[in-house]
Amino acid sequence: MLALKRIGRNVAQLEAAAAFYAHAMGFQPVGEITADAALADLLGVERVRRLRMRLGAQEIELSECFPPGAAYPQDAAANDLCFQHIAVVTSDIAAAYAQAAGQGATPITTGGPQQLPESSGSVIAWKFRDPDGHPVEFLQFPKESSPGFDHTAISVADAHKSVAFYENLGLAKAEITLNRGDAQDALDGLTGAVADVVALRPPRPTPHVELLHYRAPARGVFAAIHPADIAADRMVFATTQGQSTLTQDPDGHFILFEPGS
């Protein structure tokens, strides 16, 4: 495993999702909408239309599956195991918040953007959902940062087990924080949130993976997710192996290994 190349997201309607990511966050198309037979085979569907979009140096891939998978679970919360967000960097979170809200973003965070304490990096953050239900986070760092997305975060049941799994893939454990308090509750839309946050970095300087292990509140239980479901985000890693393969981590999050640099 070399680098985190992009995040794949299944959507209900490709053109509508692409318009939201463009107008709400500034992602721009990379090429045209195209059919992808190889991805359809990996996801176990008849066909897939997909579009890659870029913000700064980072890419996402929006994919529409036929037949479509299940909708995003309506009652899923930030501490549930199906949760996976991308953290988009902005230099003006107030403007970004207003722009996304104006395009139909559904807030997860209560009370607008939240200033997190120094122990959590002193960032200002706001979480919301796109029209398909996928979580997204805006981040404003204390120092000016390049546009793009900083990381993808996944909720996990056992931090030690997940760290061992991802270290075995080649990621390295970096910062570890314990996030709690009123600002964290507001950010996650939860009450009494206590979360271990473990940053895992790939060998190359690309966006990293964050594990979110919620000690509290108790998590809900969701049925297994099919690769074509709306909630089935994919972390796409570049590898030196010869063919693309799709697998899952201990909590069911999807990982696509793709040959290339």
pLDDT, tens digit, for every residue of 127-166? 999 999 999 999 999 887 888 999 999 999 999 999 999 9
For residues 18 and 62, the answer to whether their CB atoms sit within 8 Å is yes
Q: Which fold has domain 3-72+221-259?
A: 2,3-Dihydroxybiphenyl 1,2-Dioxygenase; domain 1 (3.10.180)
Q: Which residues contact 194 (CB under 8 A, 6 or more apart)?
A: 178, 179, 180, 214, 215, 216
pLDDT, tens digit, for every residue of 86-119? 999 999 999 999 999 999 999 999 999 999 988 7
Instruction: Kindly state the tokens that stand for 108.
Output: 């997860």
Cα separation of 157 and 251, whole Å?
Answer: 7
Nearest by Cα to 261 from 242, 240, 241, 246: 240
Handedness of CA 187, 234, 55, 197 (dihedral sign): positive
